[in-house]
Amino acid sequence: KPKPKPSQTGPQPVAGVDRIIAVASGKGGVGKSTISANLACALAAEGRRVGLLDADVYGPSQPRMLGVSGRPASPDGKTILPLRNHGVTMMSMGLMVNEAQAVVWRGPMLMGALQQMMNQVQWGALDVLIVDLPPGTGDVQMTLSQKFVVDGVIVVSTPQDVALIDARKGIDMFRQLKVPIVGMIENMSTHICSNCGHEEHVFGHGGVAAEARALDVPLLGEIPLHLDIRVTSDSGAPIVVTRPDSSQAEAFRRIARDL
């Protein structure tokens, strides 16, 4: 569908970036960053030009998940050179601050930092820029939606009620901000034992599918809770890169193919 023409004051596009897709969650720890990293790597493996902005200022985890480190360079003192790994161009708040340093920022600082990351990083030509948001419904979500043309948001939740209640609030906020909802992803859907393959529904099962139906948004997919997903994330090479033929990687790839 044709993109709305950007107005002078309304949401702006990012130079060279075709589409901006945000990944959101109501609660922290539901796997939003894991899903962002795996989707970005899966898109890159398909040959798409992908950027990943880690905007989770409170707990930036993309440098670790994508295996990058070091302070990004700024040769001209105005723009920032992003880092690159697994075919993904990436930038993170975590690279601007030290990993052990907690970020205690106020709204206006967060907004400034986000705008800087979007506009001053040399993203180059990208088919899609994935923005890994902080959890919840705060300043970063508002600024991103109001200052930039966000083509869609993916909402990640586990099947538990406590996570679903917050996911619903997130969807409500993005609807108010007029950001199209791409759909929901159920993470930690089923636990698959890495030893015997036995399946167990640790956090329940199907809760996100039911919620997606109730909210009239698509269910994009279900990602199992599997040890390999956690181990590969921690090692800096997501499962879609390290074990592309596993069924876990396939669950991510299926979602990426339709994005």
Q: Which residues bind ligand ADP (CB under 6 A)?
A: 25, 28-34, 61, 187-188, 223, 225-226, 229-230, 233
Is 136 annotated in a binding site? The answer is no
Residue closer to ligand ADP (CB basis): 90 or 149: 90
Q: Within 10 Å of residue 112's Cβ, how many Cβ atoms?
A: 12
Is 147 annotated in a binding site? The answer is no
Residue closer to ligand ADP (CB basis): 171 or 225: 225
Is 29 annotated in a binding site? The answer is yes
Query: Within a 13 Å sphere around the CA of 141, how many CA atoms are in the beta-carbon half?
Result: 25
Is 30 annotated in a binding site? The answer is yes
- The distance of closest approach from Cβ of residue 125 to ligand ADP in the complex, given in angstroms and rounded to an integer, is 27
- The distance of closest approach from Cβ of residue 3 to ligand ADP in the complex, given in angstroms and rounded to an integer, is 28
Strands 126-132 and 152-157: unpaired
Is 23 annotated in a binding site? The answer is no
Residue type at position 52: L
**Which residues, at least 6 apart from 48, have a Cβ–Cβ distance to it below 8 Å?**
127, 128
Q: What are the phi and psi torsion angles at 79 (to 5°)?
A: -110, 160
- The distance of closest approach from Cβ of residue 188 to ligand ADP in the complex, given in angstroms and rounded to an integer, is 5
Residue closer to ligand ADP (CB basis): 11 or 252: 252
- The distance of closest approach from Cβ of residue 81 to ligand ADP in the complex, given in angstroms and rounded to an integer, is 25
Residue closer to ligand ADP (CB basis): 72 or 224: 224
- With residue 111 as reference, give the H or E element that holds it: helix 107-120
Q: CA–CA distance from 168 to each of 100, 152, 161 (Å)?
A: 32, 16, 10
Q: What are the binding residues for ATP? A: 26-33
